[in-house]
């Protein structure tokens, strides 16, 4: 067990690798991770020394063609996935579409995709779109998060869940649910949007079939960074991709008229990779070199426990929306208040950046790589000032269609 | 009709807007457009002043959320599409998947997707994947390019073609085929990968139903730039997207559990947009401000005619693979030679960058924005030296799996 001093030094080192603006306590890395300092130079190099100077030759000579798999392997290390099982491509929504179609196809005797009402909406939308269009009586069934285990029966083809709830931070037990699903003959898909870089994830050890996740939250890959997709080795060569694009072909530059999927994880690729965004993500991952997720998770628990204690002591009008048990919680803490939107705006105006999720959730993410215990105390103190003084603009009750 | 002098001045001005490396004649902008000089500063600003300094607030305050449609409208001007009919998103392959599914659905009584053997393989692959998975006896039928018109009958749901053949530059008659398809009750999808920024395209005037295209060829948006998708206004609100992601929802930040597609072209969005790549593409489009595609096309014909004349005069061992009639040709010229790969490598080593397409095609793209008549003459002269002196390495017969 590392001493607190060891951890302070470790995370002071990682914090120094970010370009954080002055006067800001950033508790929204679960929505958009901040800029690692090395990214600007890397992107500039890609634009000028590679695209500009090497032109088309950079696809080979600068390694652009192989970058998607290389970055996938780097993410793999953070989620317990072996080399050759993670590909970076497209968006989380589209990657979910790929693996949901694959899972339904692999378990085609069954009709139900099981998810929960706490899942991020895009996951539900993708499942709605796909089940409505595929042949057979496929359907999406959603239950309350606490009812998932009981709802796994022999009609379920696929259990499709997000490990950590985007609003409350409630965390599913990935190992238990994966085991129960397998016992019932179902496959599992985990969305790791709020897990990768926040929690210890052990995809291989847990026997997960498929996973997807986001490059721009705790992995700090930049706005709209490409997403990742994991396929367990046992399934890879059994997938007939519905999104059958040329970069996922066994020989893209043979220009075959017929699609033949590439071996292994490469068939999860579709079109030409977004090089600028990929290079930014690759550079951003340098922060993680040598970092042990167990220490990140321990530090995250320290930070979230501290925030809950400080806010509950000072802000009685706020109701904890997250699980009180740290093991049942991701790396975020949420509180409810009916004027939450306006309160969050007041906080942001005072340099504490969290975000708001309708209808009443104030959401705070704690990324140990750059959030310190003293930031947590300051944020709680500023929140207490706002609450005590009722310093928010009550006319700003809610604003639709904006990101924050 | 502009005088040659006017055109020389116009295109000297556009050429000055690119960061072209010294000692290179770049005839591969049909694969990857070169770097416009303003892109590096724009991307640096996005990374540092927006992502770095504004953090999550940049989604609203820097306009990231609206960028996909804004850039779509800018591309729309270049392809004869009204505002609100073009969206920038994802890759060409994935956009084709969206509109092919939509078209099949809109014409669901019919079973055939008609394409041609000269189509870019990813288009055929996407159609193979989709028709195999959808209910009903859907099928992809491919015929020779010259047989497309005759193959349009009342079984055809969708005619799906690329206007300009990626290998030979052969150009379909978009107006005639679209009209014939409509007369037969079929819908049309045009892939504009080698058209946008190269030819005059009039999607609205031609009555095209759907189109897709590429951001990184003649539009110079950078490696893996996001692609675009066009949907005619009459079809937009009738589409039930199969790729039903949250950014295409009518109210993404309401976090509804049920998918409701956004009005209009916005439902062609799926996941979070790739901001760095989008900003690069937006900046790259500045080169096109005020440019009339008719002048670009006239200049392109001048360049390709000159290249064909010079090469045919000096290189009898090369066989023209492109149509001799300029009107039947896009903005590229291809020649065949059985040792084409090695010849292209020798040319590239001498600063003339074209590319090779298996099995035997040497491909040269002519983008008037930065390729001058004197470049064409120089390139032809260097090609003649290579051919006369047999200056290529015959051991380098062919190299698989590389981009060039």
A4-30+292-389 in CATH: which number?
3.90.1150.10
Residue A4: what pLDDT?
Answer: 60
- Cβ of B187 under 8 Å from any chain A Cβ? no
Q: Give the pLDDT score at B404.
A: 38
At residue A59, the pLDDT reads 96
When pLDDT is cut at 50, 70 and 90, the band that residue B402 belongs to is very low
Is A125 close to B253, i.e. CB distance below 8 A?
A: no
pLDDT band at A396 (very low <50, low <70, confident <90, very high): low
- Under the banding of pLDDT at 50, 70 and 90, the label for residue B396 is low
Percent of chain A with pLDDT over 70: 97
Pick from A307, A304, A311: which is nearest to A328 by CA?
Answer: A304
Q: Specify whether A120 is catalytic.
A: yes
- A21, A52, A251 member nearest B35 (Cβ): A52
What pLDDT is recorded for position B397?
Answer: 55
> Considering only CB atoms, which chain A residues are within 8 Å of B276?
43, 222-224, 276-277, 280
- Give which of A271, A355, A400 to mutate to test B binding, by max B Cβ within 10 Å: A271
pLDDT digits (tens, 9 = 90+) for A270-286: 999 999 999 999 999 99
pLDDT of B136-168, one tens digit each? 889 999 999 999 999 999 999 999 999 999 999
Q: Which pLDDT score is estimated for A110?
A: 96
At residue A291, does pLDDT exceed 90?
yes
Per-residue pLDDT at A400: 42
Instruction: Provide the pLDDT for residue B2.
Output: 52
Q: What is the CATH code of the structural domain delimited by B43-288?
A: 3.40.640.10
Per-residue pLDDT at A128: 97
Question: Between A132, A133, A403, which is nearest B59 by CB?
Answer: A403
Q: pLDDT grade, residue A3 (50/70/90)?
A: low
pLDDT number for residue B401: 42
Catalytic residue among A28, A116, A165, A191: A191
Q: Which residues of A touch B240 (CB under 8 A)?
A: 129, 132
pLDDT at A245: 98
* Residue predicted with more confidence, A244 or A398: A244
Those of residues 249-268 in A touching chain B at CB distance below 8 A are 249, 251-259
Question: What's the pLDDT score for residue B61?
Answer: 95
Residue B216 known to bind ligand = yes
Tokens of A363: 């959401």
What pLDDT sits at residue B376?
98
In the prediction, which pLDDT does A394 show? 83
Lowest mean pLDDT among A159-163, A394-398, B35-39: A394-398
Q: What is the pLDDT of residues B218-275, one digit of tens each?
A: 999 999 999 999 999 999 999 999 999 999 999 999 999 999 999 999 999 999 999 9
**B30/B193 Cα distance (integer angstroms):** 9
| pLDDT at site B394 | 83
B121 and A93 within 8 Å at the Cβ level: the answer is no
Read off the pLDDT of each residue in B286-290 and give the average, rounded to a whole number. Answer: 97
Q: Please list every residue in chain B whose beta carbon sits closer than 8 Å to the beta carbon of residue A268.
A: none
For B356-369, how does the pLDDT look when each residue is reduced to its tens digit (9 = 90+)?
998 999 999 999 99
Provide the mean pLDDT of chain A: 95
% of chain B residues with pLDDT over 90: 94
Return the pLDDT at B136: 80
Where does chain A hold its CATH 3.40.640.10 domain(s)?
43-288
Query: Is residue B292 pLDDT above 60, yes or no?
Result: yes
- In three-state form (DSSP H/G/I as H, E/B as E, the rest C), the secondary structure along chain B is CCCHHHHHHHHHHHHCCECCCCCCEECCCCCCCCCECCHHHHHHHHHHHHHHHHHHHHHHHCCHHHHHHHHHHHHHHHCCCCCCCEEECCCHHHHHHHHHHHHHHHCCCCCEEEEECCCCHHHHHHHHHHHHHCCCCCEEEEECHHHHHHHCCCCEEEEEEECECCCCCEECCHHHHHHHHHHCCCEEEEECCCCCCCCCCCHHHHCCCEEEECCCCCCCCCCCCCCEEEECHHHHCCCCCCCCCHHHECCHHHCCCCCCECCHHHHHCCCCCCHHHHHHHHHHHHHHCCCCHHHHHHHHHHHHHHHHHHHHHHCCCCEECCCCCHHHECCEEEEECCCHHHHHHHHHHCCEECEEECCCEEEEECCCCCCCHHHHHHHHHHHHHHHHHCCCCCCCCCCCCCCC
Residue B180 has pLDDT above 70, yes or no: yes
The reply to whether A194 sits in an annotated binding site is yes
Q: Taking 90 as the threshold, does the pLDDT of residue A137 lie above it?
A: no
For chain A, residues classed under CATH 3.90.1150.10 are 4-30+292-389
pLDDT, tens digit (0-9, with 9 covering 90-100), for B303-338: 999 999 999 999 999 999 999 999 999 999 999 999
* C-alpha–C-alpha distance, residues A212 and A278, integer Å: 16
User: What's chain B's average pLDDT?
Assistant: 95
- Give phi and psi for A392, each to the nearest 5: -105, 160
pLDDT for residue A249 is more than 70: yes
């Amino acid at each position: 067990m590392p001493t607190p001093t060891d951890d302070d030094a470790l995370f002071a080192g990682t914090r120094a690798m970010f370009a954080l603006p002055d006067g800001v306590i950033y508790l929204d890395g679960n929505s958009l991770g901040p800029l690692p300092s090395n990214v600007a130079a890397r992107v500039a190099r890609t634009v000028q020394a590679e695209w500009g100077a090497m032109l088309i030759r950079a696809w080979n000579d600068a390694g652009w063609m192989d970058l998607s798999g290389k970055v996938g392997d780097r993410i793999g290390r953070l989620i317990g996935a072996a080399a050759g099982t993670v590909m970076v491509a497209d968006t989380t929504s589209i990657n979910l579409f790929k693996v949901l179609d694959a899972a339904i196809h692999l378990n085609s005797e069954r009709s139900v995709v099981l998810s929960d009402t706490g899942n991020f909406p895009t996951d539900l939308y993708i499942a709605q779109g796909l089940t409505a269009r595929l042949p057979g009586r496929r359907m999406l069934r959603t239950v309350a998060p606490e009812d998932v285990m009981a709802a796994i029966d022999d009609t379920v083809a696929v259990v499709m869940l997000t490990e950590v709830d985007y609003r409350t931070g409630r965390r599913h037990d990935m190992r238990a649910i994966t085991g129960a699903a397998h016992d019932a003959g179902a496959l599992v898909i985990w969305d790791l949007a709020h897990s990768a870089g926040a929690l210890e994830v052990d995809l291989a050890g847990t026997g997960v079939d498929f996973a997807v996740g986001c490059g721009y939250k705790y992995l700090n890959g930049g706005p709209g960074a490409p997403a990742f997709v994991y396929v367990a080795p046992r399934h890879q060569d059994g997938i007939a991709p519905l999104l059958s694009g040329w970069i996922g072909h066994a020989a893209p530059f043979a220009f075959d008229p017929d699609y033949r999927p590439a071996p292994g994880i490469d068939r999860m690729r579709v079109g030409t990779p977004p090089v600028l965004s990929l290079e930014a993500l690759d550079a951003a991952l340098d922060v993680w070199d040598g970092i042990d997720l167990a220490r990140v998770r321990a530090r995250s628990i320290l930070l979230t426990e501290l925030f809950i204690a400080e806010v509950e002591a000072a802000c009685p009008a706020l109701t904890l929306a997250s699980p009180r048990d740290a093991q049942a919680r991701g790396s975020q803490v949420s509180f409810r208040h009916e004027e939450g939107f306006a309160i969050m705006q007041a906080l942001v105006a005072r340099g504490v950046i969290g975000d708001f999720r309708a209808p009443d959730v104030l959401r705070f993410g704690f990324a140990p790589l750059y959030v310190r215990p003293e930031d947590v105390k300051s944020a709680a103190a500023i929140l207490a000032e706002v609450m005590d003084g009722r310093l928010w603009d009550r006319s700003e009750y809610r604003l639709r269609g904006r990101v924050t």
